[in-house]
Amino acid sequence: MKLSIQNLTKTYKNGVKAIDNVSIEIGTGMFGLLGPNGAGKSSLMRTIATLQDPDSGKIFFEGNDILENKMELRKTLGYLPQSFGVYPKMSAEDLLFYFATLKGISSKQEQRRIVQEVLEITNLYDMKDKNVAGYSGGMKQRFGIAQLLLNNPRLIIVDEPTAGLDPAERHRFLNVLREVGTNSTVIFSTHIVEDVKELCNEMAILNGGRILKHTTPMEATKEMEGQIWTKTISREELDANKTMFDILSSNFNQDNTLNIRVLSETKPSEDFKAATPQLDDVYFKYLKEDEVNAKTIV
Partner 1 sequence: MLKIFKFELKYWFKNPTFYVFLGLFFLISVLFAAISGGIFESLTGSNVSTRIVNSPVGINDIFNGISIFIWFLIPSVIGASVYRDFKSNMHSILFSYPFTKAQYLFGKFLSSLFVVSLIILGIMLGIMLGFKLPGTNEQILTSFNIVPYLKAYFVFIIPNVLFIGAIVFGVVTFTRNIAAGFIAIILFLFIGDIIEIIFDQDKDILYRSLLNPFGGEALYYYTKKWTLAERNVNPIPIQEILIYNRLIWIGVSTILFSLIYKFFQFHQNAISFSFKKNEGERFVKQNFGNIINIELPKVTFDYSFLYNLKASWKFSNMDLKYIIRSWPFIIIAGVGVLFLVISSTTFGEIFGTNTYPRTWQMLLIPGTIFTFFLMIITFLYSGLLIHRSRTSGINVIEDCTTIPNWTLILSKFIALLKMQALLFLVVIISGISIQTYRGYYDYEIGHYLFDIYILQFASVVIWTFLAFFIQTLFKNTYIGFFVLLVLYIGIPYLSAIGIEQSIFKYNQGPGYRYSDMNGYGAFLSPFFIYKAYWTILGLALFILSITLWTRGITFSIKERLSIAKKRFNPKTAISFGVLIIAFFSLGFKIYHENNIKNKRYTQKDRELQRVEWEKKYRKYSSFLQPKIVAVDVDMQIFPKERNFKAIGEYTLVNKTDKPIDSILLNHNDYPSKFEFSKENNLVSEDTVFHFDIYRFKTPMQPNDTLKFTFEIENKEHTALRTSSPIIENGTFFHNTHFPSIGYPDGQELRDDGIREKYGLPKNDLRPHPSDSTALGNTYIAKDADWIDFQATVSTSMDQIAIAPGYLQKEWEKDGRRYFQYKMDSKILNFYAFNSARYEVVKENWNDINLEIYYHKGHDYNLDRMMKGLKESLKYNSENFSPYQHKQARIIEFPLTEGSFAQSFPNTIPYSESVGFIAEVNDEDNEALDYPYAITAHEVAHQWWAHQVIGADVLGATMLSESLSEYVSLKVLEKGYDKQKMQVFLKDALDKYTTSRTFETKREKPLMYNDGQGYVRYQKGSLVFYALSDYIGEEKLNNTLKEYVEKVKFQTAPYTTSEEMVSYIEKVTPDSLKYVIDDMFRTVTLYRNKIISVETEELENGKFKVDIEFEVAKSRYNDKGKVYYNLQEGDTLSYQKEGRKKPLYSAPLADYIEIGIFGEEEKDGKTKEKELYLKKHKITEIHNKVSIIVDEKPKEVGVDPYYKLIDRNSNDNRKDI
**Interacting residue ranges for partner 1, rule: CB under 8 A:** 12-13, 46, 49-53, 71, 74-75, 77, 79, 81, 83-89, 98-99, 101-107, 110-111, 113-114, 117-118, 121, 123, 127, 136, 138-139, 144, 147, 149, 151-152, 168-169, 171-172, 175-176, 179-180
**How far apart are CB 186 and partner 1 at their closest, in Å?**
12
**How far apart are CB 272 and partner 1 at their closest, in Å?**
39
175 alpha carbon, distance to own chain's centre: 15
Q: How are strands ordered across the β-sheet holding 228-233?
A: 247-252, 258-263, 228-233, 273-274
Q: Within 13 Å of residue 162, how many CA atoms lie on the same side as its CB? A: 25
Burial class (CB in 10 A: 0-12, 13-18, 19+), 105: buried
Q: Residue 19 or 212: which CB sits closer to partner 1?
A: 19
**How far apart are CB 128 and partner 1 at their closest, in Å?**
13
Sign of CA dihedral 93, 94, 96, 100: positive
**How far apart are CB 106 and partner 1 at their closest, in Å?**
4
**How far apart are CB 118 and partner 1 at their closest, in Å?**
8
Q: Residue 53 or 271: which CB sits closer to partner 1?
A: 53
Q: Rounded distance, CA 283 to CA 160, Å?
A: 17
Q: Residue 83 or 293: which CB sits closer to partner 1?
A: 83
Report the 10 Å Cβ neighbour count for 216: 15
